[in-house]
């Protein structure tokens, strides 16, 4: 089931996400967070380079550190997926069902 996170545009504080597998926390030990795709409703991807990773791999908790211009209300909602890679180079995207969402509100909305 897709998770929804709500923020206000201009947010630069760390946003954390809990990756799930069959309703339980994903055990990410031995996996690398290799990419993060965040795409606005206009189809344009947010530059996430060097702004993401594990908080705790063993419990499947990941983070994103947004820049102040990454999220604007007009492009909300944003779809988000993390790419995980194992030691053999096998890739999976999380969530593997419907993408999670970030809903962005204007500062004065």
Domain ranges, ordered by start, for the chain: 4-105
Confidence of residue 8 (pLDDT cuts 50, 70, 90): very high
Partners of 93 in beta bridges = 83
What pLDDT was estimated at residue 31?
A: 97
Q: Which residues contact 10 (CB under 8 A, 6 or more apart)?
A: 68, 71, 107
What pLDDT was estimated at residue 10?
A: 95
Name the residue with higher pLDDT: 39 or 109: 39
Partners of 101 in beta bridges = 4, 79
Domain 4-105 has CATH 2.60.40: yes
* Residues 31-46, mean pLDDT to the nearest whole number: 98
How many other CB atoms sit within 10 Å of the CB of residue 38? Answer: 23
* Residues 82-106, mean pLDDT to the nearest whole number: 96
* Residues 49-61, mean pLDDT to the nearest whole number: 97
How many other CB atoms sit within 10 Å of the CB of residue 16? Answer: 11
Q: What is the pTM of this model?
A: 0.92
């Amino acid at each position: 089931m897709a998770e929804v996170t709500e923020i206000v545009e201009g947010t630069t504080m760390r946003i954390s996400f809990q990756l799930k597998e069959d309703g339980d926390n994903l055990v990410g030990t031995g996996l690398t967070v290799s990419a993060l795709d965040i795409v606005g409703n206009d189809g344009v991807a947010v530059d996430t380079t060097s702004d993401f990773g594990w908080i705790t791999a063993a419990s499947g908790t990941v983070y994103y550190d947004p820049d102040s211009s990454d999220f604007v209300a007009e492009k909300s909602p944003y779809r988000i997926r993390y790419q995980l890679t194992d030691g053999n180079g096998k890739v999976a995207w999380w969530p593997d069902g419907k993408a999670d969402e970030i809903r962005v509100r204007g500062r004065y909305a």
